[in-house]
Structure 1
């Protein structure tokens, strides 16, 4: 087998995130002939990595295919805040689907972060994982009663957390906003190290990672014949599409849209100048800012999402202006910060109209599964997708899986 040279990130992200300074993955071989496997995972980012680790642990002969070096595409652009709270608030999700369904989805998201934590600890994955509290801040100038109503709905759903008014928020976290919801159960991680650790574990379980691009998918007997860009093919019993926002032309998902986000990382902050508990900070509202710390005491802050700038060159052109806005927002959020950008980067990502992922069988394509549309819950939903699809392959479907179905109808507010 020939060894594939390093590839670029092909417009998946721009700039230089701090995670790239860590560990570079080994080169992957290219297929020099046709092959067979039980499961082919297309995409070796964080979703494909979770899939490879879990499905190989279940005993499937698993192959992973990616045109990029594992973990250095969209995964490297992640700010890796493992929130169980979803982009759509419980209030919004209740308006779409009713309280019982919405509350159930939130509880499954909470359990996903707990399951991910258990996996990291049980397998001693070296990935900078730290359990964190999340602080969901009222948008500047917003009516705090909206956040209080969200808190009361969460209490009804038996979700953890407390409501802090302006005075208590300022006292506990030194953040000046009208109100906040403070909740346990979230986490942070180095996304590149996590992806690499999962693939390394999958390798010990018999999984194989190859370089290459899937260019065709054909139903073949009880499986799928996947044609590669080098002329060879993989015959797989099942195929999982885990390619971020880059998906086949024939995959129709009306709920799915593409947007871009920008982020910066500061220099290491002076001892004693970071906020309490290094909590994950994020804002209510559609156009929100989010912030976390790193193991080397940097502050990572991101936001400024824009659905009109998905081309890499356009994102790169916008980088100076977006960086300036993020630095200004950091100064307003945490005046004690050394507000300078040591790293600045951007990335495109998939999201959905209702803030929920698209996970499950591909309509009209037997033996094919998809995992897309993660928005701000990328790593949380990646873990969730691996467990859901693992159960689907075993014929153990659960009723709530339909809430995240690839072909679920367009949501309407009640």
Structure 2
């Protein structure tokens, strides 16, 4: 599949010169991470902080896969709302998942405080809304469940929403805590720089050709015929990891994003909060530190790997139509913002699980192999949870939360 296509914001505006050598000899390590995107970087940060001898291998360049197409909205909310998730996994587990995501936002804030680059991180408030009057009662039910479990939320009816937003809102849940935004490419490199000081080794342009799990270790071979012997491996290759499973683990879609040039004001956008609607293929909005608007959505299922949507180019008519739809919606939503001009257009493969939760943990068919797969809209927060949980697992401290994210659920 063509994971990303188009003009990427982050790798265009960020000037990062770090490069890493490719593997050219046989090595051994305690933990090998396959995948040098934001998930691999977060996982390496926690492992090296715990004193574990860790190596990252990335088949391309660090941060040049799905990471550079991430809109990097960090929210305690997940793809499945709290009521829906409660019906799937029980209310206690559902609340726990939301609370873990909420805490993960503030854990990232703490990490940012230790790094040499703040990565345009900013705590934000967020709005989850509907423009359909028939869905307001369901949204109120969602609000009451969140309020019951002490999430810092208020409900906005149509008139209250009109006083804050120019969007067509019939009802909304406004959350005052548990959300943030970040530059994922800068964050990835800042994490790796910190981890290098803690003993991390990184190899770019190093592709794994075979994985042979053994009773007490894993033997791997690169496409250049160099061997890696690791006590454990963590696969953090995102959507490419599906090749390791003999069952369907997620539904894949392509999501489209436009990014504006910096605008002069944000009239009609209360507190420049993160915004998301409640549609099945939802739209989402955020800003950047330099005043750009990022607007994404209009998802389309990709089908098979050989399908047109799986390999869609940015110049295809479908892509152009999607970007035009997003641009027209953006102007409709914010008629008082007069200087909207699109600067970047890109798309990327996106995966969702049935319950909206990630896959974190071991896989019985592959001993000593673990997965950190942050499928869903909360990929970065899930990556952080995976980094914490798998580090504890490598230290012999299995945690109860792993049951919630297990691969065979």
- Which range, TM-score by smaller chain? over 0.9
Question: Cα offset for 1:81?
Answer: 0.6
In 1, Cα distance between equivalents of 2:268 and 2:19: 38
Question: Cα offset for 1:84?
Answer: 1.2
Paired position in structure 2 for 1:358: 359
In 2, Cα distance between equivalents of 1:333 and 1:137: 13
In 2, Cα distance between equivalents of 1:331 and 1:145: 28
TM-score, scaled relative to structure 2: 0.93
Indicate which of 236, 240, 243 corresponds to 1:242: 236
Say if 1:52 and 1:199, in contact at 8 Å, map to a contact too: yes
Say if 1:253 and 1:407, in contact at 8 Å, map to a contact too: no
In 1, Cα distance between equivalents of 2:389 and 2:17: 27
Question: Cα offset for 1:191?
Answer: 0.8
In 2, Cα distance between equivalents of 1:78 and 1:234: 30
Deviations 1:41-60 (A, max 9, x none): 00000100101111011111
TM-score, scaled relative to structure 1: 0.92
Say if 2:267 and 2:334, in contact at 8 Å, map to a contact too: no
Question: Cα offset for 1:392?
Answer: 1.5
Paired position in structure 2 for 1:311: 310
Paired position in structure 2 for 1:225: 219
Say if 1:14 and 1:316, in contact at 8 Å, map to a contact too: no
Paired position in structure 1 for 2:287: 293
Alpha-carbon distance change, 205 to 158 in structure 1, aligned in 2, over 3 angstroms: same
Indicate which of 142, 147, 151 corresponds to 1:155: 147
Question: Cα offset for 1:388?
Answer: 1.1
- Unaligned runs of 5+ residues in structure 1 are 1-9, 409-414
Question: Cα offset for 1:310?
Answer: 4.2
Deviations 1:292-322 (A, max 9, x none): 1111111110001111364233565222011
Question: Cα offset for 1:222?
Answer: 1.3
Paired position in structure 2 for 1:349: 350
Q: Does 1:48 align with 2:40?
A: yes
Alpha-carbon distance change, 199 to 27 in structure 1, aligned in 2, over 3 angstroms: same
Paired position in structure 2 for 1:180: 172
Q: Does 1:193 align with 2:186?
A: yes
Say if 2:258 and 2:323, in contact at 8 Å, map to a contact too: yes
Question: Cα offset for 1:174?
Answer: 4.0
Deviations 1:37-96 (A, max 9, x none): 111000000100101111011111110011121112100001111111000000110111
- Unaligned runs of 5+ residues in structure 2 are 303-307
Question: Cα offset for 1:200?
Answer: 0.9
Question: Cα offset for 1:274?
Answer: 6.7
In 2, Cα distance between equivalents of 1:32 and 1:248: 28
Paired position in structure 1 for 2:384: 383
Indicate which of 71, 96, 105 corresponds to 2:63: 71
Paired position in structure 2 for 1:335: 335
In 2, Cα distance between equivalents of 1:399 and 1:53: 22
